[in-house]
Amino acid sequence: MTVKEAAEEFIVYISSVRSLSQNTVTAYKNDLLVFESMPSIGPDKPVELVAADDIRLCIGVLSRKKFEASSINRFIASVRGLFGYCKKFNYIQINPALEIKTVKLPKRLPHFLTGAEVDKLCSEPHKNELLWEKRDSAILEFMYSSGCRVSEVASLKVCDLSTDLSCAIVTGKGSKDRKVYLEDDAKKAVREYIADRNKRFADNKVHNPKNFLFVNQNGTPITARGIRFIIARYSGAEGTGHHVNPHALRHTFATGMIAGGADVRLVQELLGHSSISTTQRYTHITTDKMIEMYNKAHPHGGKKE
């Protein structure tokens, strides 16, 4: 079996048998197309002839092309998945990908907003109605209050909300459900949006058969890409003038919870992190921020030896 044939079969397997998300399947497919195109591989090379050194040469090519460490590690994960599949179904006797180590990721602290920056962004739909005021306000307040991912907000249904709008059940990574909470501003914004949405589409439920919470102006469910577009508009030149990645709202939620004294395990549960080490990076942010504020505020903080 050739590399190309094995890759095509593997993609069908993870899509149909393992039922991985479309985004994950697409990422695997793109990485394996890159793998096939490598000089040391080629689409027609038999999978049993691929050695660990061939894969290392591929990683060298990506490195020279200035691929980020996270992209290279995703590529390695895709190649590992392919050869794990080949070993499982006896297309190869030895898995060469087991010898490949991931590259070290640079330490990057997540970007978060100050309280004033969040307030300014959340007030933009009321001051500067670029799209749909009540919906956009509800999306921003919901994301900041709950710490949800964009995909989780896009997939939210009306029935996932509690009757008093104080909490919601969201489906996160790995199809795991968790409960998130809404503070007063978020509850008010969501309540006003639902009332406005029901007025707009009182006679038209055809486009939203599953009753997704957030819809576009045609009444069809909004996508994660649509939410990113909304946030980009309100944080761009027409809005605050300070572009915000939607994930920054999640980071801001987590940082605020940790800084406010919340237990890191509680924050882990609220964010839906499978590993507590992912959540613990927010403790580093608050420590670094305190040091920065101390150096700015202390009379001798800015002095150099």
Instruction: Give the catalytic positions in this structure.
Output: 149, 173, 247, 250, 273, 282
Residue 156 structure tokens: 């939210």
What is the DSSP secondary-structure string of 231-264? HHHHHSTTTTSS---HHHHHHHHHHHHHHTT--H
- Whether 267 contacts 279, CB under 8 Å: yes
User: What is the Rg, in whole angstroms, of the alpha carbon atoms belonging to the chain?
Assistant: 23
Contact 228, 219 (CB under 8 A): no
Cβ neighbours of residue 110 closer than 8 Å, sequence gap 6 or more: 247, 248, 251, 254, 255, 281, 282, 285
User: DSSP letter at 17?
Assistant: I
CA distance 160 to 169: 5
Query: 305 and 298 in contact (C-beta within 8 Å)?
Result: no
The H or E element spanning position 97 is none
Residue 200 burial class via C-beta count within 10 angstroms: exposed 0-12, middle 13-18, buried 19 and up? middle
